[in-house]
Amino acid sequence: MKNPLQKSFQTRAVHAGERVPPAEYRPVSTPIWPTVGYLYESMDDLDAVFAGTKPGQVYLRYSNPTVEAFETAVADLEMAEAAQAYGSGMAAIHASLLAAGVKAGASVVTALDVYGATFSLLRSLFKSLDVNIRTVNVTDHAEVEAVLKETSAVVLFVESISNPLLKIADLPALADIAHRNGASLLVDSTFASPYLINPLKHGADFVIHSATKYLSGHGDVLAGVVATSKENKNKLFELNKLIGGVLGPFEAWLALRGLKTLPLRMKQQCQNAQQVAEWLTKHPRVKKVNYPGLVDHPQHALAKNLFGGKGCGGVLSFELDGADKAQVYRFMESLTICLPATTLGDVYSLVLHPATSSHRSLTADERARVGIPDGLVRLSAGIETAEDILSDLESALAK
Ligand SMILES: Cc1ncc(COP(=O)(O)O)c(C=O)c1O
């Protein structure tokens, strides 16, 4: 008869080396925990973890130690009570809207110039679900207040620095207007990152990041995160158990690793963007430069004040004088350091043509209304030496 302790080669191949008991030592940096489930001493223990009366993990769609480490780090940097991570920035935006009470019959007031997919999420998906969507110019506070009043909106949605026109949202004033009118303020702070501003300190209710960008910083992970109160986090957590837009442990680990150099990268990127913006304003082939660090930007003083003089972000946009789409494409193809890629916030300098990428989902009329001409280029400054970025732009503009 077979010895019950003597397992077959096949069974040992499956179980050998797994489930080693916790060690006495702790790793210095957070490990990746790629497990879906967890074992407990007893089923009663598992039951208590499910019930929330005992700390622990039950299932990867609910939470994960590596993901929780990333959430804890973001909450800390955003001065928030808590954070909830997602598999993308869009999932984070969608979840925040739901957690803030957006449902059939409700109204949302959004800044007109927001990331193209955010605009489409609101104007196509949410609208088709019977949510009333109104757009406003967030720099016109009287208009924002009037539309909030008229619609009794539950949400005012803005970007702290807008994509791609680099308008600055006056968060303290907008939080005040939103709350006076019974709306929550949702701030997509992807462009600013917590290096420049903590929107919750200025009255925001939810701060959203596409962590794909500055938080991770290396162009190798898609991630989203929302920083908010404990109460809102609980709503987001319960929603995500059902929707399942979770961040995986490997992606959380990459994002957590990226966070550590956020201040170093942002400092260099803000300096580079400032230098590039100033240089472009003097170039004869450039019609207009949008960058809040320029003294003639309409919200320069506001940006300096809100960002505490740490810089005005790493992104700028500029219009090539009289250029059509084909000419803009030739310019982008001539660049060798600034890479034409559909993202931003990386260590590499990146350029993008908003009309045919980030804002492609808008109709030509909508783009005209937002103010995105075919000659507009968005540049996300990397951490290279500014002089090398400038000479790359110089030679491409000459072509
Ligand atoms: C300002 C802003 N918010 C949200 C998103 C969406 O993020 P993700 O691509 O991670 O879903 C983007 C993407 O470019 C963005 O620029």
User: How many angstroms separate the alpha carbon of residue 313 from the centre of ligand 1?
Assistant: 16
Please state the atom number of ligand 1 nearest to the C-alpha of residue 223.
10
| Ligand 1 site-directed mutation target among 93, 166, 210, most atoms within 8 Å of CB | 210
Q: How far is the CA of 134 from the centre of ligand 1 (A)?
A: 21
**Are 97 and 108 spatial neighbours (Cβ–Cβ below 8 Å)?**
yes
DSSP string spanning 227-273?
A: EE-HHHHHHHHHHHHHH--PPPHHHHHHHHHHHTTHHHHHHHHHHHH
What is the whole-number distance in angstroms between the Cα of residue 89 and the centre of ligand 1? 5
CA max distance for the chain: 90
Q: How far is the CA of 50 from the centre of ligand 1 (A)?
A: 33
Mutate to test the pocket of ligand 1, among 190, 207, 209 (most ligand atoms within 8 A of CB): 190
Report whether pLDDT(343) > 80: yes
Nearest Cα neighbor of 369 from 94, 90, 111, 185 is 111
Atom number, ligand 1, closest to the C-alpha of residue 114: 1
Q: What is the tens place of the pLDDT at every residue in 82-91?
A: 999 999 999 9
Closest Cα to atom 6 of ligand 1: 89
Contact 277, 295 (CB under 8 A): no
Taking residues 172-199, report their average pLDDT: 98
Instruction: Indicate the pairing of strand 376-380 with strand 286-290.
Output: unpaired
Q: Which residues, in sequence order, are CB contacts of 87 under 8 Å at separation 6+?
A: 222, 223, 224, 245, 246, 247, 248, 251
Given the CA of residue 90, which atom of ligand 1 is nearest to it?
11
Average pLDDT estimate for 214-241: 98
- Reported residue count of the chain is 399
Ligand 1 pocket: which of 94, 163, 221 to mutate (most atoms within 8 A of CB): 163
Helices within 52-140 (DSSP H only): 65-77, 89-99, 116-120, 127-128
- Do 168 and 192 contact (CB within 8 A), yes or no? no
For residue 329, give Cα distances in angstroms to 369, 394, 397.
23, 16, 12
pLDDT digits (tens, 9 = 90+) for 238-294: 999 999 999 999 999 999 999 999 999 999 999 999 999 999 999 999 999 999 999
Q: Which residues are bridge partners to 318 per DSSP? A: 289, 377
| Cα radius of gyration (the chain) | 23
Ligand 1 atom closest to the Cα of residue 159 is 1
Measuring from each residue's beta carbon to the nearest atom of ligand 1, which residues come in under 6 Å? Answer: 88-90, 115, 117-118, 159, 163, 188, 190-191, 210, 212, 222, 224, 358
User: Which residues belong to the active site?
Assistant: 61, 115, 188, 213
* 177 vs 19 pLDDT, higher one: 177
What's this model's pTM, rounded to 2 decimal places? 0.96
**Residue 393 near residue 335 (C-beta atoms within 8 A):** yes
Across the chain, what does the average pLDDT equal?
96
90: CA distance to ligand 1 center in Å? 6
pLDDT top residue among 262 and 371: 262
Q: Can you read off the two tokens belonging to residue 247?
A: 């961040």
CA 342 from chain centre, in angstroms, equals 14
What average pLDDT does range 112-124 have in this prediction? 93
Q: CB-side exposure of 113: number of CA atoms within 13 Å?
A: 22
Which residue's CA is the nearest one to ligand 1's atom 8?
89
Ligand 1 site-directed mutation target among 90, 214, 222, most atoms within 8 Å of CB: 90
Is residue 287 a contact partner of residue 320, using CB atoms and an 8 Å limit? yes
Instruction: Give how far Cα 142 sits from Cα of 146, 248, 278, 317, Å.
Output: 6, 43, 32, 27
pLDDT digits (tens, 9 = 90+) for 294-342: 999 999 999 999 999 999 999 999 999 999 999 999 999 999 999 999 9
d(CA 181, CA 178): 5
Backbone angles phi, psi at 250, to 5 degrees: -65, -45
Question: Distance, CA 211 to ligand 1 centroid (Å)?
Answer: 8
Q: Which pLDDT value is given to residue 170?
A: 98
**CA 218 to ligand 1 centroid distance, Å:** 15
What does residue 62 show for φ and ψ, rounded to 5 degrees? -85, -50
Residue closest to 157 by CA, chosen among 172, 135, 173, 131: 135
Q: Residues 6 or more apart from 362 whose CB is under 8 A from it?
A: 116, 119, 120, 370, 372
CB atoms within 10 A of CB 49: 17
Which DSSP state fits 139? T
Q: Going by C-beta distance under 8 Å and a sequence separation of 6 or more, which residues neighbour residue 242?
A: none
Alpha-carbon span 279 to 16, nearest angstrom:
62
The bridge status of strand 376-380 relative to strand 315-320 is: antiparallel
Q: How is residue 336 annotated by DSSP?
A: S
- Which pLDDT value is given to residue 396? 97
